Homo-oligomer: A and B are copies of this chain.
């Protein structure tokens, strides 16, 4: 039988696809190997361990998500940018639930591997840049970044976990929450006057 042409990237991608289909917790070495038509032992030439594989999936997801967001907010500012950011964030989580949950694992990733991945670092830069229009100064700016990340992450994960059982359509709560978030940023507590539309 011919060989599959495996590589760390291909293994990671197979794992990511599997994660989206069956959930990250069911991503196993054997399952990935089966999907690639290969024995599980063969994967260890490309990936150190299952945990390493999960870390690579997380890094891949971070990169993809960052790119999505960057495209979405390009050329926008203020409220426009916030909405684009949030919607890109949420739609990525919807389309790639397994990859997204991979990003929440406490990062015990190979440091040199993490250093090579631009995703996480760039994501932070994007968020700071997106908030620039609200004219916040440090340390308020960092607090605001954390509020935005917490709100989006929290909403998306609660939604995925089925935490919103009420009759009210989730979609409308989502836009309401974004409006409220925008208002928070505009009238940040420790600040005097308003900010852009």
Chain A positions within 8 Å of B, measured between CB atoms, are 104-107, 138-140, 142-144, 146-147, 149-155, 157-158, 160-164, 166, 168, 172-173, 176-177, 179-181, 183-185, 187-190
The 6 lowest CB-CB distance pairs between A and B, nearest first, are A154-B154, A150-B154, A143-B176, A150-B155, A179-B189, A153-B154
Q: How far is the CB of A55 from chain B (nearest CB, A)?
A: 13
Across the two chains, which residue of chain B brings its CB closest to A189? B179
Alpha-carbon distance between A9 and B147 when the two chains are bound, in angstroms = 38
Cβ–Cβ < 8 Å partners of A147 in chain B: 151, 155, 173, 176-177, 180-181
SS class, residues of chain A in contact with chain B: helix
| Contact B184–A168 (Cβ < 8 Å) | no
Q: How far is the CB of A13 from chain B (nearest CB, A)?
A: 24
Across the two chains, which residue of chain B brings its CB closest to A146? B173
Q: How far is the CB of A104 from chain B (nearest CB, A)?
A: 6
* Given the contacts A176-B143, A180-B189, A184-B181, A158 and B163 also touching, CB distance less than 8 Å: no
Alpha-carbon distance between A190 and B143 when the two chains are bound, in angstroms = 25
B106, B151, B177, B185: which contacts A161 (Cβ < 8 A)? B106
Alpha-carbon distance between A189 and B182 when the two chains are bound, in angstroms = 9
Q: How far is the CB of A37 from chain B (nearest CB, A)?
A: 29
Cβ–Cβ < 8 Å partners of A138 in chain B: 168
Across the two chains, which residue of chain B brings its CB closest to A154? B154
Across the two chains, which residue of chain B brings its CB closest to A140? B176
Most buried by B among A163, A180, A187: A180
Cβ–Cβ < 8 Å partners of A106 in chain B: 160-162
